[in-house]
Chain A
Amino acid sequence: MIAYLINLATLVCINAILAITLNFIMGYAGIFSLAHAVFFGVGAYVAAFMALQWTDSLLFQLVAAMLLAGLLSAALALPALRVRGDYFVAASLGFQVLATTVFSEWKSVTGGIGGLVGIPPASIAGHAITDPVEFFGLAAVALALVVVLTTAIVRSSFGRSLKAIRDSESAALAFGKNVALIKTLSVFYSTAMCAVAGVLYADYLSFINVESFTIDASTLFMAMVIVGGIGTVWGPIVGAVLLTLLPAALTYLPFLPRTEIGSVQQMIYGLAMVLLMIFKPDGLMGAKQGEA
């Protein structure tokens, strides 16, 4: 039972990092990306590939994954600089579909549909992290760092510039803000940190395949952010906890046949989203509307 809970807690940490990094561009830069799972996948595949071919050093894996994801973020930044809102969502969706295809077809690197198996555990300074409790500790530290760093950025002048751009791009330009550079940097940060979650995920499960990095995953991450509250500090964490634990909790309902859990989950997600948008459109942690 303890092992099961540790497992869930580790996955919550990884999902929380994903939700926080997505919230960073959704809530503060106004960039609604349906391609977050791509960078999660890039992180995971880089870690897995490196672990299988070259090194189990967590540090090297993290650096390589963050850099590659950051570079690939140009694929997100370029359309984000040209189009906003609905148009950008469509562009990111296209990127997600494209990436899913690459993940499932580039067999020599990603292992194709079957994925990569037997990923050796990561090591820090020569010490292999095989104990699940240790790994949970690692994931928790990573989450804490991402929370602290992201909160610091949001509260800095850079965070204010981002919010200003989100609220009125033309006014931000008129007040001397280099909108293109600020957006590009924000997407770079978000995707690089997202890749950290991917590295942890691959090293933790020791098995990855494309299923975890599809549009379904991107939608789930977006749901975490929206349920918790876009543009809030704690919202994405609350959303990640709820949406990670919900499937687990559902398995404990005695009257649910195991084979039906998947569809019941979908119905509960859907219903929760509709109810939330009706009663608490800003998310669970969202500010109260109309407070003076």
Chain B
Amino acid sequence: MLQMSKAPALPATLLEIVNLTKSFEGVKAVDDVSLHLREGIITTLVGPNGAGKTTLFNLITGHLRPTAGDIRWQGDSVVGTAPWKIAQLGVARTFQDLRLFSHMTVFENVLTVMENSAWFWQSEAGSVTERRRRVHEILDATGLVHKAEVRANDLAYAERKFLSLARIMATKAKMWLLDEPASGLDPGSYERFVTLLRNEVRRGITICIIEHNLEIVVSISDRISFLDQGRLLADGEPDEILSNPELSSIYFGERNP
């Protein structure tokens, strides 16, 4: 309660994770985690490899089913809901290994994300002209305009990262789950990346990021959740988490047996 007094009122919860557990053949990849992802801020998930961060994303998006616990999107449980339905509710994600639509052009990669209807008409996505204009805007913002007709497979590494981001920008999602979106970016690209994210948050997007690089974590996070071996060890303001010697020793692998 002490920290509540010094912190300003927290933003409302968009996604709530309640006592969530996921076991793989007895090994708990996520172990009784409860967490609020709050509206309009960037929450960073940190923790060593195997902490359960990506598993947590897979549970939220419905790619995996939890063993126990609940996930509530704006108050309603989404456990057992198909991934594509969860996506249409407003949760979008990127993948650590990107999973671009590799044989499609950059333009098509972004365009197809806007076209969510399985039928031949797209009542919700606006006219074709509108869609194309929007794709152009997004490619402009991500610096991919001159690569629009290149196949995703033929892009350079940093461009692939930006395409992954462009794709998520094309969704109407309120919440973005980004799995190590900045890893391997050169400093110039990284600057552009952070600016982009900040702009999107200002626009009202809620972001949850998995990130290893502490410099990036410090520069980008509004809140940090620290996971280790599937358990949530701490959750709070960046200063508070990063100044905790116990957590940093876990993070840097100086764990006592």
Contact = CB atoms under 8 A, between A and B. Distances in A.
Nearest to A292: B154
Contacts of A292: 150, 154
Contacts of A53: none
Nearest to A168: B99
Interface string B69-104: 000000000000011110110001101000111111
A166 B103 contact: yes
A178 interface: yes
A156 interface: yes
Nearest to B108: A160
A167 B78 CA distance: 27
B63 interface: yes
B100 A177 contact: no
Contacts of A147: none
Contacts of B104: 160, 163-164, 167
Contacts of B197: none
Contact of A167 (B61, B101, B116): B101
Contacts of A52: none
B118 A182 contact: yes
A54 B138 CA distance: 59
Interface in A153-196: 153, 156-158, 160-161, 163-164, 166-168, 170-179, 181-182, 185
A246 B111 CA distance: 42
Interface in A273-292: 290-292
Contact of B84 (A157, A163, A177): A177
A157 B115 CA distance: 6
Contacts of B93: 174
A171 B171 CA distance: 13
Main secondary structure of the interface of A (DSSP, over half): helix
B167 interface: yes
A163 B100 CA distance: 11
Contacts of B171: 175-176
A231 interface: yes
Contacts of B120: 153, 156-158
A188 to B, nearest CB: 12
Interface string B94-137: 01000111111000110111011111101001000000000000
A173 B115 contact: no
A171 B113 CA distance: 10
B88 to A, nearest CB: 4
Contacts of A157: 112, 115, 117, 120, 122, 125
Contacts of B63: 170, 173-174
B74 to A, nearest CB: 17
Nearest to B114: A157
A181 B104 CA distance: 21
B108 A163 contact: yes
Contacts of A161: 112, 115, 118
A158 B119 contact: yes
A167 B117 CA distance: 18
Nearest to A185: B118
A50 to B, nearest CB: 30
B83 to A, nearest CB: 4
A160 B170 CA distance: 15
B103 A178 contact: no
Contacts of B87: 173-176
B170 to A, nearest CB: 9
Contacts of A175: 84, 87, 92, 112-113, 116, 167, 171
Nearest to A169: B99
Contacts of B113: 175
Contacts of A156: 120
Contacts of B116: 175-177
Nearest to A178: B118
Contacts of B150: 292
Given A157-B115, A176-B87, A168 B100 contact: yes
Contacts of A231: 103
A173 B108 CA distance: 16
Given A153-B120, A173-B83, A163 B154 contact: no
A26 to B, nearest CB: 13
A171 B118 contact: no
Given A164-B109, A168-B99, 15 more contacts: A156-B120, A157-B112, A157-B122, A158-B119, A160-B112, A161-B118, A164-B104, A166-B103, A167-B103, A168-B102, A175-B84, A175-B171, A176-B87, A178-B84, A178-B118
14 contacts: A157-B117, A158-B120, A160-B108, A160-B115, A161-B115, A163-B104, A163-B108, A164-B112, A175-B84, A175-B116, A175-B171, A182-B118, A231-B103, A291-B154
Interface of A: 153, 156-158, 160-161, 163-164, 166-168, 170-179, 181-182, 185, 231, 290-292
Give 6 nearest A-B pairs by CB, closest first: A176-B87, A157-B115, A171-B99, A160-B112, A167-B101, A173-B83
